[in-house]
Structure 1
Amino acid sequence: MMQAPTFEFADTMAAPRIYTPEPLTVDATISLEEQASIHLLRVLRMAVGDPIRLFNGDGNEYQAEIVQAGKKQADVRVRGINQSDEELPLNIQLGQVISKGDKMDFTIQKATELGVSAITPLISERCDVRLKGDRMDKKLEHWRKVAISACEQSGRNRIPEILPVQQMSDWVQDCDANLKLILHPHNQKPLATLDKPYSIALMVGPEGGFTEAEVAQAQQAEFSGLILGPRILRTETAALAAVSVLQYVWGDF
């Protein structure tokens, strides 16, 4: 392995952005995980001395450079902090009933890009997906990787929490937020008439929608209805449209 020469960064914003779970401090040297190392060394063909950007979810993005390169292992040294994310002006907790195939991946990816703080996969009466045991654990780990990848791409330095799967009935009782919304036309109020909340719990149903009993339960838990125009939206479209509207009215859009 070659030791790195002294390197002066010309354009750090053009450098690839990589996630690492390791603690990051200036002048620390860390070994990247194998998948990230292979991506840098084999796919991007980077070498000792090349700049990269790192984040680990603590809210900072770090300037670093490759200092050692093997076949499947890259060591990097942290040189400084590029930027720090400010606290999100709006804490959005998304309760999303699990959808089929890659639709849930899409929802998690885009909700991460749009700035949600936490996502809870939900099971409802009309949910067609059933997860148990190891299959559930693997799916959660996969969804967390989807969120990390979305942070890498979007420049976000804080990773939204992907919480364990819950029954919808439990989530509506347990969630704590200034404003609770369900995508359903009951008891809806124009957003313009509401005071700006610090936190929002947003619940989005499956393709078959919520049952009347589920809507009644949400209403008893102080959820208000939210509708998004006259058209019926797919579950993955509805979640992202709603988050976008909330970010525009009260968030950082």
Structure 2
Amino acid sequence: MRVSRLHITDILVAGAQLSLPAESAHYLGTVLRAREGDKVMLFNARDGEFAAAVSKSKKGHVDVTIGECVRAPENAATLRLHLALGLSRGDRMDYAIQKATELGVTEITPLFTEHGEVRLKPDRLENKLRHFEKIAINAAEQCGRLDVPAINTPLSLDAFLAQKTNATRLLLEPGGELRLTAAQALSDIQLIIGPEGGFSEHEVSLARASNCEIMRLGPRVLRTETAPVAALAILQFLYGDLA
């Protein structure tokens, strides 16, 4: 039987008793119908990963006993990847965030762009951010990583570019001057990808003026949810841990 992994922000210490947060307790106790003695893995980037066992499960309340540490906290990734992605309608963003998490991104910033059709009021924005965070957590639980990428508050492209950074900025554009594989050896990257309508000429010019390298993936135009998967896989293969 597959043992579930749960991301827990509480401090994890061998031998301790822990009441699971409401959402994790609901998933384990109600959805999976966990019973006393059932095994579960608990993890976070700070403490590592621990084996645990259910000690109590009743009406959405689940307590566990934390066992031994089976995986120590890890050093920072050799390649830091920050994905800035134009907000899109439907489940495109959900898919992109899920796959970006699986491919090891450190940080994700949704972008408001000129061709993007998503405009969110403050209350909907807060709900959408929580939704994105949940997708990233679920993806981290599934793929085996210890950390969860940060999901930042959406910004306009010009506001994002105005932020100071030491990272190399790569903006993907079908008419880019260089192939993505031409990027020099890198360890800190901001990968900027547009929505389903792509970036406007003004936005590309703004990016170029902000020292972005304008790159292309190849002869085909990829969908906004496909481009991050392809680009992140290439960058992880060239400079990261995908091999």
Q: Same fold, TM exceeding 0.5?
A: yes
Aligned position for 1:37: 25
Unaligned runs of 5+ in 2: none
Please list the CA deviations of residues 6-43 of structure 1 after superposition, one character each: whole Å capped at 9, or x if unmatched: xxxxx9xx421112222212222111123322322333
Aligned 8 A contact 1:29 1:78 in 2? yes
Unaligned runs of 5+ in 1: 1-10
Aligned 8 A contact 1:176 1:201 in 2? no
- Output the amino acid matched with 2:99: K
Aligned position for 1:235: 224
Q: RMSD of the TM alignment (CA)?
A: 1.7
Q: Does residue 186 in structure 1 map to residue 157 in structure 2?
A: no
Structure 1 length as normaliser, TM-score? 0.89
- Output the amino acid matched with 2:141: E
- Aligned-residue sequence identity (percent) comes to 38
Q: Which structure 1 residue ranges, 4+ long, deviate > 4 Å from structure 2?
A: none
The offset of 1:240, in angstroms, is 1.2
Aligned position for 1:74: 62
Q: Distance in 2 between matches of 1:139 and 1:110?
A: 18
Structure 2 length as normaliser, TM-score? 0.93
Please list the CA deviations of residues 113-164 of structure 1 after superposition, one character each: whole Å capped at 9, or x if unmatched: 1000000000011110001211101100110011000011111110000001
* 3-state DSSP of counterpart to 1:236: coil
Aligned position for 1:152: 141
Point out the structure with max Rg over C-alpha: 1
The offset of 1:243, in angstroms, is 0.6
Aligned 8 A contact 2:11 2:47 in 1? no
Q: Distance in 1 between matches of 2:58 and 2:218?
A: 55
Aligned position for 2:92: 103
Aligned position for 1:92: 81
The offset of 1:46, in angstroms, is 2.2
Q: Distance in 1 between matches of 2:180 and 2:19?
A: 51
* 3-state DSSP of counterpart to 1:93: strand
Please list the CA deviations of residues 28-75 of structure 1 after superposition, one character each: whole Å capped at 9, or x if unmatched: 211112332232233323211222101134261111111122121110
Aligned position for 1:22: 10
Q: Distance in 2 between matches of 1:175 and 1:116?
A: 19
